[in-house]
Amino acid sequence: MHKLKSTSIYDEIYLKSLINNSSIRINRIIEFIAFNKSDIIGDFASGSGTLAWSINNRILKYYGIDTSLDFIRFSNKQAKLYDIKNVYFKCEKISEFCSKRPHFLDKAFALDFSEHLNDSDFNKIFKSIWTSLKPNGILYMHTPNSKYFIEILKHIHFIPQTPGHIAVRNASQYKSMLTQIGFKNVQIIYLSHYLPILKKLHFMSKIPLINYFFRARIFLICQK
């Protein structure tokens, strides 16, 4: 899963579309976050670099880590094109990046990534992220909720599972796993689905008895 590779299936039109499609998810997440000009940020599984373009003018340094050479090449090209000096994209395993930088990051992001990891890989990778955070540093996670009705339908094979989603979990499972790693003060925020048609159903997450089935996405804020 973590082997460095160039897939050669991404063209620039596709990669730019990822930025557009990710912007909705990214922008609603950063509304919850107070950035500082002194912040050093780690964005793990950074993809097409959407987070970097959204926050680079609010922070000191941003590091985007991904094992896809296509993503990294594209992101570095975008940074050069728009003359953004404080963002750095590296094609590297997360554990390797973190092991070389203990107590380095003020904030770490793992957005739409953890559902691609089995429990063993999750524990290894997020322990390394914990090590790379400064004391009281913050981890931000965004991921599908296994209790959401769409995810339940995927689980019972009524509709196809999203490719690569091998471990969609619920908030309680994440809180337990992250606490065991060493994170504290794990805060859970439920967000609507990012697709407009499903977003309209989010009001049902406030209705007793059925609310659990309409909490589409989990946003976790965890302190070292």
For the stretch 29-48, pLDDT in tens is 999 999 999 999 999 999 88
Residue 127 falls inside a structural domain:
yes
Residue 165 has pLDDT above 80, yes or no: yes
The whole domain housing 143 covers 122-224
pTM of the model: 0.90
Q: Could you give the number of structural domains in the chain?
A: 1
Residue 41 falls inside a structural domain:
no
pLDDT of residue 21: 60
Question: Taking residues 146-173, what's their average pLDDT?
Answer: 95
For the stretch 109-147, pLDDT in tens is 999 999 999 999 999 999 999 999 999 999 999 999 999
Cα–Cα distance, 24 to 7 (Å, whole number): 26
For the stretch 62-92, pLDDT in tens is 999 999 898 899 899 999 999 999 999 999 9
Handedness of CA 199, 42, 39, 15 (dihedral sign): negative
Please list the helix, strand and coil fractions of the chain in percent, rounded to the nearest 5, in that order.
40, 25, 35
Q: What CATH number corresponds to the domain at position 203?
A: 3.40.50.150
Q: Which of 6, 24, 220 is nearest to 122 (CA)?
A: 220
Fill in the amino acid letter for 80.
K
Residue 134 falls inside a structural domain:
yes
Residue ranges in 107-215 assigned as alpha helix (H): 119-132, 149-155, 171-181, 196-199
Q: Which of 18-27, 94-103, 141-150, 209-218 has the lowest mean pLDDT?
A: 18-27
Cα–Cα distance, 113 to 49 (Å, whole number): 14
Residue 176 falls inside a structural domain:
yes
